[in-house]
Structure formats: structure tokens, C-alpha cells
Amino acid sequence: MKRNTIILTSFIIVVIILSILVTAYYTGAFESKRSKLVISTTTSLFDTGLLDELEDDFESIYPIDLYFISVGTGLAIEHAIRGDADLILVHDPSRESTFLLDGYGLCRKIIAYNFFVIVGPEDDPAEIEGLSPTEALNSIVEAGRNESLKWVSRGDSSGTHSKEISLWTIAGFVSTELSNEEWYIEAGAGMGTTLGIANTYLAYTLADLGTYLAYYDFGVPTSGKISLEVLVDEGQELLNVYGAIAVNPITQEGLNFEGAINFIKYLISEEGQNLIKEYGQDEYGQSLFFPAVELLKENTDPTLVSWIEDYAFIDGEECPTEYQDDHPELYT
Amino acid sequence: MSFEILEGLFEALNLIFSGNPTLYDITTRSILISGTATLLSVVWGAPLAIILGLRKFRGKTIIKSLFNALLGVPTVALGLILYLLLSRSGPLGFLDILYAPIGIIIGQAILITPITVSFITSAIESVDPEIRDLARTLGASETRASISVVEESSSGFLLAIIASFNRAIAELGVALMVGGNIKGITRVLTTTIALETSRGEVVLAIALTIILLSIVIVVSFLINFIQRRRG
């Protein structure tokens, strides 16, 4: 009896001391003077590991700690509207435009681009290899209705999902109608999981190149990796443009707008752009993302620039003047 | 295929024993966060459980069934509710604990409170009522008699703590939605497993899974061992 009492009492004392210590630790009694910048980002940028690399470099230059929250573009924008993020990194121009025009965002910058790819089984039952995206989707629908293949859709309101919906529209279909058909599978998951499902069903899907390469088994069957091949990777319709938008400080109290501007400045600096360009070279022998700043400024590839202007500009501009805040230097 | 899983396992063990600093960092953070959450749930759950176990009052059954029902609350559901509450535009946004370890701690503590309360209550209730009577017959006061009942149920206490800790460290929903899986701040074992899997880094995910399982198993064995020695 006595021993039990001692154990119980000492336990309670330990609990109290630990609670005080831990609370002090976490509530910032030992916190540094660095400011914190919360960035809600699309998974396709985050899952490739690019942002980790940018983070290390940025944090060594600025006294700002980056907090990345990796979600789909849809949720990233939702976070920003609720005031839970200081900056968003997304790839969905039409939703970015709404976000800006609704007054939630400022200082949008296009930071990078690449192309989506349509991947599928090596034997390619729909025979889409080398076709244009529109032709490829038509073949897939036809073959799907003949029960010879399946299509896996992200179905999660991400930027990639938006792209898929618009591709179906361009090809003459309505994605919500297709989703009732048996060959059309809605994953409701991130890119990695979606690729895994497509791999299991030997199905076709739309993927961003970065995640696809991270998952590809390079000819050696490996658990958790996929053997789907890139079948369509060319065409204006597959363009994928990444934008950075600072959250308007009037959205919510306590937003770190200054930090957001600093990060945008870093992303469009020569250093940041070079890092984006070189990322992936070591591991995959190719870049996963291409820097967009110099391209747009110098118009080095007029065709590509016109594609980006068509697809990702808002009212003919990267960021309409009234949303540039007091930072015209970002656009010169 | 099974060979590849074995290979993955082997590589994972290699990673664990090579002393990868990130791995240890994440593991320590997980134990700290979930350990603190367990402490919190005991701090507010144990007194409640003792009252529920010892006293008789109206509505007691309702409270008990409520906690029993909450045992299986889905972690994503709780994660979502907490996110909406703690969001800057939510009612508790002023606390500024979203995307911070303290947010996960409180979330997990709420998640496991039903376990703590239900387990301790039933441990106390299962103590032979004669012990209390005996204590009183021997001249103990009401309070003193109650204390001896609680003392008798100490092994049930330990079980409650372990079950709570294991649920906390193994849950994903709250850590992901309230913590945000931020590198070096709120990245814990379960969120890293989810992240690395979605990044296609299966080996690291397997390594972390092994660590997570080891923690859960070791803790359970340890308690079993203590109980056996005492009992």
C-alpha cells in the first residue's frame, strides 16, 4: 500500500514537471528571432524534393524559416483564403486568377513550367504513343468503352485534376459524365497513389513529370515503383505553369507578407531560378522544372512564351497592375 | 515481389543502424509529442475517471457510454474539426497553435482522452468492492478508502496510459491536418511514412514503419514486464 502511494505521488510530480518543461519548450520560451513563413504548396512541387533544396538555400540567406504545407492546389488556395498560409505555390492559372481577383492574393509571379505527361502500360492497348493529347484522349475513351483499358483520374481538386478536366473538355468530353463510366476510375488521392493505382490496373493516367520520375522503376521491378511508360508528352495542351502568390495581408491578421515577398524575390532571382533548372539532373539526368522568369522577360522562345501567355496570364498580364501592390520591381 | 519487400526491409534496417540523424530526429519528436499528449490526457482524464469509477450519481452511465463511443473517433474527423477551430479565421485562431507541435499535442490528447477515461474507469470498477469496505472497517476515512481502491487499480492505470500513448503515436489524421507535416517542426513518424510513400521513397517509409512498430511493441512489453514483477 505505502509503496503504491509513493509511486503514484512521484508519478504525479513527474507529470507536472514534464508538462511545464514541455509547454515552455513548445510555446516558444526558447524560440529564435527568425520569422516564420507558412507556404501552402502543391504536392507536385513538394513531393519531388525541390522545395527542400530551395528551403535550405533560402534559409541560409534570409532570417526566415519556411513552413511548407503540402496539399493539392485546391486545398492550398483554401488555406490561403482562411489566412492559414502566407504564400501559395500552385499550378492552376484559372483558380489563381479567381484568387487574385477576389482580393486574396498579391504579387503573383510565374516561377517555372514543365509539361504534363500521359502515361500508360508499355504495350499501349489504346495505341496513343506519339499522338497529340486530344487524339490520345479520344483513343482512350474509345478503347475504354470497348473494355480494353482503364483510366485513373486524380479526382481530388488538385491542379493536375483541373488540367485533366480541361484536357477532356478540349477533347470534346465532359469529365463528370465520363466518371460514371466503368472504365473511368476516380482515385481521390495524390499523384503517387494515383500512379500506383494506374500501375496496378495497367491503366492510363495524367501525371506531372516530377512525381512520375520519382515513381518510375527505370526498368527494374521494385516494390512501390511503377512500370508505366510516358506515351504522350508533347503539345501545348499539356503545359504546366507554376505560380507563386503572396496572400494579401488584409485577408487575416498576422500574415507574414514581407516574408512572402522576400521568398518570391528569391524564387525569381538568378540563384533560385538556377536551382529550379538544375534540380533533378543528378538523380534523373533531366530537369523536372524549367525556370520561367528569363524566358518571359527576354522572350527567348516566342512559341513557348505565347503558350504561357495564352494559358497562364491573367487579363494579358502575369499579374495585373492593381495586384502588384507596391512591388513593381518584381515585374521589371 | 516478396524479395523486393525483404530487400526494402534490409535496406531499412541498414538505414536505422547507420544512425541517420533525420530518422532519430523524427523519432524523438514523435515520442515527445505523443508522450506529452498522453501526460495531458492523464492529467485531465484520470481525475474524471476516478470520480466516474468511485462515485454514484445521475447521468453517470450516459457519460460513461459517451466516452466509450468516442473510443473509435476517426482521427481525420477530429483533425478536420481541430483545423477549423485553430485556423486563423476560426474561433480559436488567436491561440496561433496551428502548424505547431503544441497543436498536435492538444489534438492527440483530446483524441486519446476517451481511452484514458474508459480504461481507468473500468480498472477502478473492477476492483473488488470488498477492499473499500474492508478499508472502512479497519477505520479508514471515506477518502482514505477511495485512495486504496485507486491504488489497487494501478495496473489498469498503466494499461490505460500505454493504450493511450500507442494510439497517439500511431495516429495520422490529427498530426497531418493540425501539424501540417512541416520539416523539423511537426514532422512525426506517421506523417513521414505517408509523405515518403507518396514521394516514392518506400525504403525510408519501411524504416520508419519498423521504428514505429518497435516503439509500440517495446512500450507494451515493458509495461507487461513491470506488471508481472509487481503482480
CATH for B8: 1.10.3720.10
What is the least distance, in Å, from the CA of B24 to any CA of chain A?
Answer: 19
- Report how far residue A152's alpha carbon sits from residue A150's, in angstroms, rounded to the nearest whole number: 7
- Report the relative pairing of strands A64-71 and A35-42 from DSSP bridges: parallel
Secondary structure element (H or E) that encloses residue A125, with its range:
none
What is the least distance, in Å, from the CA of B79 to any CA of chain A?
Answer: 15
- Report how far residue A185's alpha carbon sits from residue A257's, in angstroms, rounded to the nearest whole number: 41
Average pLDDT estimate for B170-186: 93
Question: So what's the pLDDT on residue A24?
Answer: 62
Question: So what's the pLDDT on residue B84?
Answer: 93
C-alpha triplet A189, A195, A200: angle, nearest 5°: 110
- Please report residues of B whose CB lies closer than 8 A to that of A192: 197-200
Reference A42, options A73, A74, A64; nearest CA is A73
Supply the range of the domain harboring residue B170: 2-230
SS3 A204: strand
- Report how far residue A318's alpha carbon sits from residue A96's, in angstroms, rounded to the nearest whole number: 11
Residue ranges for chain A with pLDDT beneath 50: none
Tell me if A38 and B93 make a contact (CB, 8 A cut-off): no
Q: Within chain A, what is the greatest distance between any pair of CA atoms?
A: 86
- Report how far residue A257's alpha carbon sits from residue A263's, in angstroms, rounded to the nearest whole number: 10
Tell me the residue type at A51. Answer: L
Question: So what's the pLDDT on residue B225?
Answer: 82
- Please report residues of A whose CB lies closer than 8 A to that of B93: 83, 252
Question: So what's the pLDDT on residue A320?
Answer: 93
Number of domains into which chain B is organized: 1
Residue identified by cell 518570391 is A264
pLDDT category at B146 given cuts 50, 70, 90 is: confident
* A:64-93 residues touching chain B, CB 8 A cutoff: 67-70, 82-84
Going by the DSSP 8-state scheme, the letter that residue B175 receives in this structure is I
* Residue A217 near chain B (CB below 8 Å): no
Nearest-Cα residue of chain A relative to residue B153: A4
Q: In this prediction, what percent of chain A has a pLDDT beyond 70? A: 92
Tell me if A221 and B4 make a contact (CB, 8 A cut-off): yes
* Residue A34 near chain B (CB below 8 Å): no
What's chain B's average pLDDT? 89
- Report how far residue B108's alpha carbon sits from residue B164's, in angstroms, rounded to the nearest whole number: 9
Question: So what's the pLDDT on residue A23?
Answer: 63
Quote the ipTM score: 0.78
